[in-house]
């Protein structure tokens, strides 16, 4: 196993399957089983989940809603998804804790970094909800921030495609998949895998990102086993595993 502690970023859209809205139970069940597949091998897993299947702050602000309010609504959507994923993980016997960046004690623990790390050490999967707790930041940025805080060695960025392509593979048959790209390539060429704040944060801290297809059965397991799945985003030095800083 090449990674011991990972941060898995799942978009809200991944929770809706082909439904187009909300939470699709068989999809969330599949995601929970995929996570179980690596937790059972002793990998410590933290999850940051988006909320776009329920509410997209950016889109609402384009339609005239105040951006900060829209973003807070989006953060609440991530809490709904976090609780759904917790439920399915626990159904499969995976102990979990949800920590929310916005305090709502009745339904989740508040985000406390040291407590999150202890949970991971005890084999509990942590689901971080409510993004960074701040408007104007995406859940991708929350993923980068939390990964750094808990000393994760990699961010696994789950998507619907097999990795990063030269153009949109859904529209262009000639699109070429990259096995590896640098942070600078992602930023300069505007490869839209994560927003620039998230990518910059990873670049500044040399935290590798693997962009992969969540729908592929066993993909998370294969990545932690070192198989070449998806696209690896890293610096020029080629470091695949970030040195732990705990
Ligand atoms: P240890 O201290 O390592 O044993 O961790 P623990 O999480 O099992 O212990 P704790 O007594 O802190 O928590 C017991 C249960 O209460 C767990 O399911 C936690 O997720 C939950 N819990 C802890 N703090 C809070 C909180 O502030 N709000 C909510 N809603 N649940 C909490």
Residue nearest to atom 17 of ligand 1 (CA): 97
The reported pLDDT for the residue numbered 237 is: 66
Alpha carbons 211 and 160: distance in angstroms, whole number: 10
- Walk along the chain (246 residues) in steps of 10 and give the mean pLDDT of each run: 97 92 96 98 98 89 91 97 98 98 97 98 98 97 98 96 88 91 93 92 97 97 96 78 46
Q: Pick 5-234's CATH classification: 3.40.1160.10, 3.40.50.280, 3.30.420.40, 3.90.420.10.
A: 3.40.1160.10
Q: How many CA atoms lie within 13 A of 79 on its CB side?
A: 22
The reported pLDDT for the residue numbered 168 is: 83
Domain ranges of the chain: 5-234
97 lines ligand 1 (CB under 6 A): yes
Residues 6+ apart with CB under 8 A from 141: 131, 132, 195, 197, 198, 201
Q: Which structure tokens are listed for 159?
A: 């998507």
Q: What's the predicted TM-score (pTM) here?
A: 0.93
91 lines ligand 1 (CB under 6 A): no
Q: Is 133 left (phi over 0), alpha (psi -120 to 50) or beta?
A: left
The reported pLDDT for the residue numbered 29 is: 98
């Amino acid at each position: 196993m090449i990674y011991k502690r990972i941060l898995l970023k799942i978009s809200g859209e991944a929770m809706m399957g082909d439904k187009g809205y909300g939470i699709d139970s068989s999809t969330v069940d599949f995601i929970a089983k995929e996570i179980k597949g690596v937790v059972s091998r002793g990998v410590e897993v933290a999850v940051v989940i988006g909320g776009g299947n329920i509410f997209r702050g950016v889109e609402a602000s384009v339609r005239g809603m105040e951006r900060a309010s829209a973003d807070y609504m989006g953060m609440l959507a991530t809490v709904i998804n976090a609780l759904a994923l917790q439920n399915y993980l626990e159904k499969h016997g995976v102990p979990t804790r949800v920590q929310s960046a916005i305090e709502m004690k009745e339904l989740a623990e508040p985000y406390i970094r040291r407590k999150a790390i202890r949970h991971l050490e005890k084999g509990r999967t942590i689901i971080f909800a409510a993004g960074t707790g701040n408007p104007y930041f995406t859940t991708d940025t929350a993923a980068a921030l939390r990964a750094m805080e808990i000393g994760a060695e990699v961010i696994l960025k789950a998507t619907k495609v097999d990795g990063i392509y030269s153009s949109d593979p859904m529209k262009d048959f000639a699109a070429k998949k990259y096995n590896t790209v640098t942070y600078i390539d992602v930023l300069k060429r505007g490869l839209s895998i994560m927003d620039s704040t998230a990518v910059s944060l990873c670049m500044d801290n040399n935290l590798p990102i693997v962009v992969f297809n969540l729908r592929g059965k066993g993909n998370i397991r294969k990545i932690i086993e070192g198989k070449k799945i998806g696209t690896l985003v890293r610096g020029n030095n080629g470091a695949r595993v970030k040195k732990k800083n705990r």
